[in-house]
Amino acid sequence: MQKINIDVTSEIGKLNAVLIHTPGHEIENVTPENAERALYSDILNLSVASGEYNVFRAVLKKFSNVYEVRLLLQELIADVAAKDRLLKKICKNESIDCIKSDLAKLPDDVLASQLIEGVPIEKNTLTKFLSNERYQLQPLHNFFFTRDASVSINNEILISKMASVVRERESIIVESIFNDHPLFEGNTFNPIDSPGNISNVTIEGGDVLIARDNILVIGIGARTTTQGVDYIIEEFKRKKKTHHIIVQELPRTPESFIHLDMVFTFLDYDQCMIYEPVVLNKHSFETVHIEIDNGAVKAITECASIIDCLRKLKVDIEPIKCGGDNEEWVQEREQWHSGTNYFALAPGKVMGYGRNSYTTEALNKKGYEIINGSDVIKDNINIHEIEKCVITIDGAELSRGGGGCRCMTMPISREKLS
């Protein structure tokens, strides 16, 4: 088995390898009663979402090697020692040591599914019989947003400290895959292993963007705390190199602003997609530049915007507006359905939801050819001969889960930028 070296030094370098999770029965277990706990504001139809996701996955496969969490997990737990380590972590974290031995006896494929789709509660006591809970181990309703549980930063993997306990198992599973699956070569680092106080530390992948190998852009808000950024600062200080962190404050409501990539994503060497009312509103949402050099914080200064700060670091970038130059209510509608959440397959070749027509039109005016994802997978067009394009996929159902194409991908390897 040829190992994959973790190597991501930008958001736009040509994609070589990516981690995804195809949504399954776990999303069917969201009900009106548990939707809020599951971090959903709506209920998805699996059959419709699966059709949209199949096109999304097939487009990825035209550009890159695609790895599925469920299959990697199944292969991982074939190793008895790795399975035991994983089950110990999960059962301890969720206080279910009583079922660990039963889980260990399951066939590998069944166990992999139950660790994602949930373990139904056995009504063998009065307490359990009268309980409204359906699961002893809750389903991972959000796992198809694989971006959040980990982040590839250069040749290492940051394991996320999730803001909600209902998503902690995602990070545990992903960490086990990168540490124990023989396919991967690279180090992981995890805030929970930090010797200091981590009670207020949270950081999720949707808030971390790799502008260049020594420049991160990080959002702080509902999912990532200032203490989470401080953890990254300490990690960079240990490397004794020059690093820059641009921190963008986000609104805490509504939930469409949960991560930075819901208001800002990179498209090409010199272009990005923004939700203007947040990214360019310096009076309401602060932008801070942190410079780290030779093991110390050299400076912390306020900036006018992410765009302005990047330009000072010689990354000259033009913003394209989510919703285009239309009225603010149009921008609001398209941002709500992940209108800024584009995923770069290569410089200038991006993928997003076709439902955001005003944003797609704005990209087209800037030289991006509009291509339907179905034409890509049917080979009706040679995508590699096109210099700049936006590949659209149907996302009317997927977007109701609260994320877009970047949310559903976790790059493992990209080509370095020239």
For residues 293 and 306, is the Cβ–Cβ distance under 8 A? no
CA distance 403 to 56: 13
Helix axes 168-180, 69-76, angle to 10 degrees: 60
DSSP conformation letters of 161-201: B-SSGGGHHHHHHHHHHHHH-TTEESEEE-GGG-SS--TT-
CA distance 411 to 418: 19
313 exposed, middle or buried (CB, 10 Å; 0-12, 13-18, 19+)? middle
Specify the residue for token string 């309401």. 284
DSSP state of 318: E
| CA-based nearest residue to 8, from 208, 169, 212 | 212
Helix axes 108-117, 168-180, angle to 10 degrees: 150
Would residue 407 show up in a list of annotated catalytic residues for this protein? yes
Spacing of C-alpha 277 from chain mean position = 23
CA distances from 195 to 172, 192, 233, 290 (A): 19, 8, 15, 23
DSSP state of 205: G
Spacing of C-alpha 43 from chain mean position = 20
**Selected catalytic residue, list 91, 272, 405, 407:** 407
Number of H helices, E strands in the chain: 13, 22
Helix, strand, coil % over all residues of the chain, rounded to 5: 35, 25, 40
For residues 90 and 169, is the Cβ–Cβ distance under 8 A? yes
Tokens linked to 326: 């239309």
Largest CA distance in the chain: 65
For residues 359 and 334, is the Cβ–Cβ distance under 8 A? yes
| CA-based nearest residue to 158, from 205, 196, 200, 194 | 205
Active site residues per annotation: 407
